[in-house]
Amino acid sequence: MSALLTVDSLVKRFGSGNRTHTAVDKVSFELFPGEVLGIVGESGSGKSTTVRCLMGLERPESGDLRYDGINLRRMTFAQQRRFRSEVQMVFQDPYSSLNPRMTIGRIVAEPLRVNTKLSAAARRDRVVEMLELVGLEARHLARYPRSFSGGQRQRIAIARALVSGPRVLVCDEPVSALDVSVQAQVLNLLKDMQEKLSLSVLFIAHDLAVVRYLCDRLVIMQNGVAVEQGTRDEVYDHPAHPYTQALLEAVPRADPAGERMRRQQRRALIEARTA
Ligand code: ADP
Ligand code: MG
């Protein structure tokens, strides 16, 4: 099976002269159709920069980025259009990622206006369908982001990401800004959407507990370097790199309250899934 997304020796530096900082240092990985690939590392390890390069939001120093075998830098206009509609993103902070001056209806319809020729009526039908799919309702269409909670806003962001029928979803810490009780609901929603729509997902997190439940394979990043890659079971049961071992081990010892929280979170996830 050939990869849907390929990141090959990606390098991204910030700063200039002798004050440069290598945020991403020769990172390589592939995302295959239908899989959930987790990218895990502490804050500052280069996770967001990697996906921002992939989405064209940062310009890398070097490396190859490919979608469906096509180099992102050599895409025709039509291929770029297809990429923008088929690869969608959910950001960390649902407070800053939704335009406060746009109604929910307009926010969710935006990718359809940009990427399709659907009529206004067809767009509205599709938006209502998406809102219902993520657990919201048609009556929410005319409201503004301010009247929604963090969890609901992330549902809106997910509806926007899914409305144009993408093949790939890139989620950059989509639950890190949410209350623990709400995190489980949003993760369950993402998991359900992934299964229902056969999506391929790049899921970024700093929390190994969350990723274990969602991901088929993992990439572990430390200081801009992908230090380990493997299937979920390989990484959790036989971590090869000391940093991965530290990520797995240090959590409960250094942060017992956090671990208790994560245990509750896991239980909530399991209960919500089996309810
Ligand atoms: P993560 O998402 O893993 O927390 P980031 O990709 O956001 O990490 O950041 C990686 C490194 O690059 C950090 O040291 C960060 O300070 C730096 N960095 C990120 N964006 C910029 C920027 N626009 N300008 C300068 N440095 C940046
Ligand atoms: Mg980040």
pLDDT at 48: 97
115 vs 14, more confident? 14
The pLDDT tens digits of the residues spanning 219-229 come to 999 999 999 99
Rounded distance from Cα 218 to ligand 2 centre (Å) = 16
Is there a single domain that holds both residue 184 and residue 82?
yes
Rounded distance from Cα 2 to ligand 2 centre (Å) = 28
The pLDDT tens digits of the residues spanning 13-29 come to 999 888 999 999 999 99
pLDDT at 249: 80
pTM, entire model: 0.89
> How would you list the strands of the sheet with 225-231, edge to edge?
87-90, 168-172, 200-205, 36-40, 217-222, 225-231
Domain that holds residue 262: 241-275
Is there a single domain that holds both residue 233 and residue 245?
no
Rounded CA separation 246/251 (Å): 8
Mean pLDDT of the chain: 91
Q: Does 10 reside within a domain?
A: yes
Residue nearest to atom 10 of ligand 1 (CA): 46
Is there a single domain that holds both residue 37 and residue 88?
yes
Tally of domains within the chain: 2
Is there a single domain that holds both residue 62 and residue 13?
yes
Q: For 74-86, what is the mean pLDDT?
A: 94
Is there a single domain that holds both residue 90 and residue 170?
yes
Q: Does 131 reside within a domain?
A: no
Q: For 205-214, what is the mean pLDDT?
A: 85
Q: Does 114 reside within a domain?
A: no
Is there a single domain that holds both residue 179 and residue 269?
no
pLDDT at 115: 83
Q: Give me the CATH number covering residue 215.
A: 3.40.50.300
